[in-house]
Each structure stands twice: as structure tokens, then as C-alpha cells.
Amino acid sequence: MINFQHNHFELFGLPQRFHLDLAQMEQAYRQIQSQVHPDRYVQAGDAERRASMQSATQVNEAYRTLKDPLTRARYLLALQQVDVESENNTAMPAEFLMQQMQWREAVEEAADQPEALAELELRLAGEMKDHYAELERSLDSDGDYALAAESVRKLMFLERLREEIGDALERSDA
Amino acid sequence: MALLQISEPGMSREPHQHRLAVGIDLGTTNSLVATVRSGIAVVLNDAEGHALLPSVVRYFPNGTTAVGYPAQAELVCDPRNTVVSVKRFMGRGLKDVAHAENCPYDFLDSPGMVQLRTCAGVKSPVEISAEILRTLRARAETALSGELVGAVITVPAYFDDAQRQATKDAARLAGLNVLRLLNEPTAAAIAYGLDNASEGVYAVFDLGGGTFDISILRLSKGVFEVLATNGDASLGGDDFDHRVFCWIVEQARPAPLSDEDTRLLLTEAREAKEHLSSHNEARITARLGTGELIDNTLPLKTYAEVTRTLVQKTIAPVKKALRDAGLTVDDVNGVVMVGGATRMPQIQQAVAEFFKQAPLNNLDPDKVVALGAAIQADVLAGNRPAGDDWLLLDVIPLSLGLETMGGLVERVIPRNSTIPIAKAQEFTTFKDGQTAMAIHVVQGERELVSDCRSLARFELRGIPPMVAGAARIRVTFQVDADGLLSVSAREATTGVEAAVAVKPSYGLSDGEITQMLQDSVSHSGDDAQARALNEQRVEARRMEEAVTAALAADADLLTPAELADIRAALAALVEVASGSDRGAITTALERVNKITEPFAARRMDRSIDQAFKGKKLEDMKI
């Protein structure tokens, strides 16, 4: 079974940084799951079965956390004892908030037009890519965790926006 | 796939070591049982050579049953006591059952799950399904001449917790050891993946008699990973029959139909549907109980028109599943068709159009799920050598959440999370001195509690009175590899704990659930582990003292070898008791207990007072 003292990076034998070799992680994930998954312990006793489920649960949690760049960044910051303060710290740069309002207006206007929504989604993806590049720099090269936390907060806004576009696309389909 | 499996010398299993395990497809319309024999998955036939067992159960007044073809044959004569498509009622209340008004059953709405009143008494869908499973179990044990170690039972991927729990209960009732509940599309993918050695992204489109599933899987060396699943737990071939039935009634406008005539016309409708899979029109003739003659011809074109909305209903879940998987149609390497209803030409066409490729039909859509389940059962039973098996990573189909203020749902585990998964959520009291808290677990994607399926309600009692907001109640959801949920709750500052397996309310009344919870609430210290360890140490010391005293008094009752054994066991106990491995202390205690049993008996014999005979050493007053 796995070592529950290990953090998610240690679990998969990965360097503790934002830049991630996804293929390497997937390989490690599958290899560990092949060892601990409950399907391997169907015939075992209660205690072993429970340990297997707890291990597999932890491995899934680690994989899910690291796979998504935003949760990965938040996890890295948490390991550095940096709280993103997503609930309390809503003071964002005025310029960014302005852009957010424009985005939202654009999504509302495109509500019933799948093509327009798809185009917005594409543009948003481009903008998010820039923010992620900045996030990687501040986490992996500069060690500027305050700036990284700000990038995370911005990206949380943008992720929510992306979900809203997705929902609108789904509705316009129906 | 290798034609020959060459084993290491001495590694091959003797035939008698092969553990008998089966895969069961418990279908809405038909059920099947399959197993792996000599490395090949085969469907097991009944004595007459039938592979399919119609999922039909007829009850007789004396309590006996007929299952399968004999029951189906009498369907029209005894519709009230002959249950078809019972899968649609599993884990469902009366209000959830589509077209209940057209079912010739005497429904009884009971909490959690509908029940049926038959001439043999009130039957729950779990009991009725167990009859089908019992028949398949008997078929398998006859065919394999032995007792089964277990079975993999398939369920629609889109089944919620109540439906899964009901299926597992039915299997247990039928005397089957459930190795795993396996999602039907995943089972189909296993059957296809192994036969075709496929790699890449596959969509499994599974339209059965009563349920529709779509799963997006990624297959790569040794791993089947479900990326997303979606569907409609009440859409299937039955609905197409129903549309044809409505069309017949509309055309002929007969007098109000008796139960028998309803059943007769539904059967005619099903036959017409099946005929239209390979013909351009179907003639429908029937003589009703009133003497009225029904004679109509249904052209394929009309059939496609009256069922168009049903076909369209399958596409929205497909789009959602692709979206959740983060993929587009172009990423899909192949589309696997599963379920008898996918034989309909308009379904084949709609799927081909949507995915821009011809779907795969090379395995029998009626058998592919059972075959996949059999292959997985073989793996889980440990019949395959290590290295020749694979890993299956499946997901939870519907989000789990909790009711919060104002009847809103707070999502705790999002749909399509890989299982097993656990999530903890913290809550606090909102009134000063509040000592109990109600927790309502729901499943579904909607924002309002009333739009989701209610899985369980329970109360956490015994919260120490504190000011509002001071208590910290941590509720943990654990979903296991069968996709079944259990919930536990713990107050962090005091360690008050409660755990409940989320049993659907059909088996348990609210009172029983409350009782169960109260029984499980224990006032443990902050660190239950440390406390348990301490208790074991005290026990070890007590045992050591008791045995040492007994040896001092009566060591002459033992042979030198026995004496040495007891001393060695005692020394081992003393040693582990100074460590912190609670399990090791327990084991050492058991060892001492066991090894001193004859000693205790002899001491008792020696004792004048025979009243102690049969008790263990540690129970004696020394």
C-alpha cells in the first residue's frame, strides 16, 4: 500500500514544481493503481480491502489534483504555506475586472449562437494560456508566490467564465 | 491476442484450481450469464440451448415462480402476476416510473422503492430481480458443475446509488457473491478491447431495453480508463415499443383496453419494432378480448417519424459526455454499439452521422456485455497470471451533494470522478447550543434539492453545545469501486462520530436509520487510534501478569516443551506491547490466549471448584 505521509508529487516520484510531464505522471499513476486498486484485492480480507480502497482513493485524489493546472498551482502554493485567499481577497486589479465585465457582456450577447460562443471559448483559451505561462514562471523560475497567487485568482475567474460559456453552449444545443 | 498462453513451468494452474466465476448481464428485456472457459469467454446456454433468459418472472398463488421463456409465454394470459422489465423499477419510487399507467401491475408505493402486489404476495423489484439471478446462477452451476466463487453483475453506467444498491441486494438475495458491479458500457469495451487489441479513444453507445448509456473510454496497454459517462436511466427499446403501441391505438381507436389487451398490443408493438430492423414495413394483427380485430401496416418511414424524438434524446447525453471528457467527435477512434435496440436502422444512422464514422457491430450486441463481465470476473477471481491482467478505472456517473440552506445543493463529488473517491466537507452549527444536525445526501446535476435524487437523510446527534459556528463537523463521502456511497461524520473538537452506509430507504425506515446512527455514535477521544493502542497495552500487561502468576503456582502441570512455548509467547507479547503496532499486540495476545488454553483447563481440573471448567485462563480468579 502507499505511504500516506508522501505529498502528491512524492507519491508519483515527480519533481515538486508547476511544469509537469503529464505522460510521466500518467504512467506512474497507472503503475501505482495497478498495485493498490480494489480490483486486486477482491479475494482479500476486510482489512486489506479497506487499505486498498484508501490507497486507491488517495492516488486518485493526487492524480486529479495534479492533472488540472489550476488545482496543481493551488496545491503547490499550499505546500509553500501560501493561502490563495480566494474567498477573502477579491481585490483584483481594476483593469482585470473591466475585462471580466466585457467578457461577460460578450457571453450574454452570444447566448443563443453556438458559433459565436465557440469563438469566445477559443479566444478565452488563448488568454488563459498566457496566464498559465506567467504562473509557471512565477512558481518555477522566480519563486514569486505572491504573484503566483494573484495569477491563480485571475485564472479562477477565467475558469468560471469558461464553465459559463460551456453551459451556454449546452443550452444553445438543446 | 496470443493464440497460445504458455505458462512458466510450475506456474500454470491445475484445472481444479480454476475458480468458477461468471459475468451476469441483468438486462431490462433479457439476461445472460457467461464465463471464461479455457481462456475464451462464452455465454452459457440453458438446457434447451437458449442463450438469452427473458427477464420475465411469473408468480403463482402457491408462491412458486416461472422465469424466462415459460413466463413470457403466459404473459398475455396473466399480465398482473407476470413481471417484465423489472429493472425499470429498481431503486425507483412510483413517481419515477415512466408510463406506470400503461403497466398492468398493481403498484404499491412504498418509501424509496415501488412494490408490486401479486397473487403470491407483495414483491419488491429486488426480490423479482433475485428470481432472475437465481435462475442464472443455477444455470451456471449446472453448466460448470460446481459452486461459483462469485459473479460480476453489470449495471447501466448511469444508474444512481439507489439503483446500484438494489442490484447488489438482489444478487445477495440470490446467493451470489458479488465480485464487482461493473458498468455495462465498460464491460462491452472489455469484450471489444481484448478481441480487437484496440488502443485509443472509444465511445460505447449502449441502448438497451430500458436504459441508455454513453461512455467515452481511453484504452491503452493494460488500462481501461473511463473518461466520462452520461445517459438516460429511463430511455430504451421499451419506449420505442410504447410509441408503436400508441400509434396502433391511435389508428384503431379501440374501446378502453383490458390489462390483457394492453399486454397483447405491447407485445405486437415489440415484434413490429424488431421486424422493422430488417424490413421496410411491419404488419400488425391482433384479436382483442372484445372480439375487435386490429390490422395495420406500419411503414418504416412512419416508424422513424413516431420515434424521431426518442432517437434525438440519445444525442444530447453523447455531447455532454464528450464535453466532460474534454474531447471532440474527431478524437474518437471507434464507436461500439451495445444493446438490442441499437439494431434499429434509425439508431445506426443517427450514430454514424454524429460520429462521422460507421459504428462497430462485429460482436453480438445482446451478448457483448455478458462476455465482458465474464472476462472481468475471471480477472477478479484471480484466474489470470499476473502480467496478463489489466486495470479498470471507472467513474461515478452523477454528482453527489448535500442539501444546504434554501433547498440548494452543494456539490461534494463531481460526476465523472474516478472511483474510488473520497471527499470531506466541513460544516458548522448556526445556532448557539445546537446539538444535532441533519444531513441530506442527494445525487444529480441540478441546483435544487427537489430536482435531484434523495439518497439518504440522517442526523448527527450529540454535538456538544457550543456557540454558533464553533463546532466543526467534518462529513466524509466515500464512493467505493462498485460506485456505492458511504458517509461518515465527525465533530472535530470532541471526536463525536457517526457513520452510515447510504442504504436506500426501501430497506430501512427513517427510524431505523436514526437508530443505526445512534448506535454508531461514540464519544471517542480526539485520537481514537492512540486510545485503542493504549487499551491494548493495558490488556497485554494484564495478561502477562495473569499468566506469570499462574505459572508460579502450577507450572508442574506442563511439560518442559509446553512451558518453553508459553514463556516464548509471553516474551513476544511483552516485546510488541512496548511498540506502537496495535495489530501486532492483538496477534500476540491471541497467541498467548490460545497457547495457554490447555494449561487453563488442567489448572481448572486441579481446582476443587469445577464451576470454572471451560473458561479461559484469564477469566479465572488466580
* Best A4, A25, A27, A42 residue to mutate vs chain B (most B CBs within 10 Å): A42
For A173, the closest chain B residue by CA position comes to: B316
Question: Which residues are CB-neighbours of B20 under 8 A, at least 6 positions away?
Answer: B35, B140, B141, B144, B146, B147, B148, B149, B381
Q: Tell me what the mean pLDDT of segment B506-517 comes to.
A: 39
Identify the residue with better confidence: B133 or B492: B133
Catalytic choice (B25, B131, B161, B482): B25
Euclidean distance between CA atoms B341 and B423, whole angstroms: 38
Contact A64 B150 (CB under 8 A): no
* Best B180, B314, B418 residue to mutate vs chain A (most A CBs within 10 Å): B418
What is the pLDDT, as a whole number, of residue A129?
Answer: 95
Q: Tell me what the mean pLDDT of segment B18-22 comes to.
A: 91
Identify the residue with better confidence: A35 or B436: A35
B25 is known as an active-site residue: yes
What is the pLDDT, as a whole number, of residue B248?
Answer: 93
Q: Tell me what the mean pLDDT of segment A45-61 comes to.
A: 91
Contact A63 B418 (CB under 8 A): yes
Residue A70 has pLDDT above 70, yes or no: yes
CATH fold, domain A94-173, is Monooxygenase (1.20.1280)
Residue B605: which pLDDT band, with cuts at 50, 70 and 90? Answer: low
Euclidean distance between CA atoms B74 and B58, whole angstroms: 8
B87 is known as an active-site residue: yes
Candidates B323, B418, B481; nearest CB to A39: B481
Residue A19 has pLDDT above 60, yes or no: yes
Residue B481 has pLDDT above 90, yes or no: yes
Residue B101: which pLDDT band, with cuts at 50, 70 and 90? Answer: confident
B206 is known as an active-site residue: yes
This prediction's pTM: 0.77
Reported ipTM: the value is 0.88
Nearest alpha-carbon partner for B293 in B282, B283, B302, B279 = B283
> Which amino acid, residue A103?
W
Sorted by where each begins, the domain ranges of chain A are 8-67, 94-173
| Cis ω for the linkage preceding B317 (within 30 of 0) | no
What is the pLDDT, as a whole number, of residue B197?
Answer: 65
Residue B619 has pLDDT above 70, yes or no: no
Question: Which residues are CB-neighbours of A110 under 8 A, at least 6 positions away?
Answer: A116, A117, A120, A168
Which residue blocks in B211-307 are alpha helix, DSSP H? 237-252, 259-275, 300-306
Catalytic choice (B46, B131, B184, B238): B184
* Best A35, A39, A117, A165 residue to mutate vs chain B (most B CBs within 10 Å): A39
Residue B604: which pLDDT band, with cuts at 50, 70 and 90? Answer: low
pLDDT digits (tens, 9 = 90+) for B112-145: 788 899 999 889 999 999 999 999 999 999 999 9
pLDDT digits (tens, 9 = 90+) for B553-598: 888 888 888 899 899 898 888 888 888 788 888 888 888 888 888 8
Residue B87: which pLDDT band, with cuts at 50, 70 and 90? Answer: very high
Residue B6: which pLDDT band, with cuts at 50, 70 and 90? Answer: very low
Q: Which CATH superfamily is domain A8-67 in?
A: DnaJ domain (1.10.287.110)
Nearest alpha-carbon partner for A106 in A118, A90, A92 = A118
> Looking at CA atoms only, how far is residue B603 from chain A in angstroms?
36
Angle at B327 between CA B321 and CA B333, to 5 degrees: 95
Within 8 A of B320 by CB-CB distance, chain A residues are: 170
Candidates B150, B379, B391; nearest CB to A30: B391
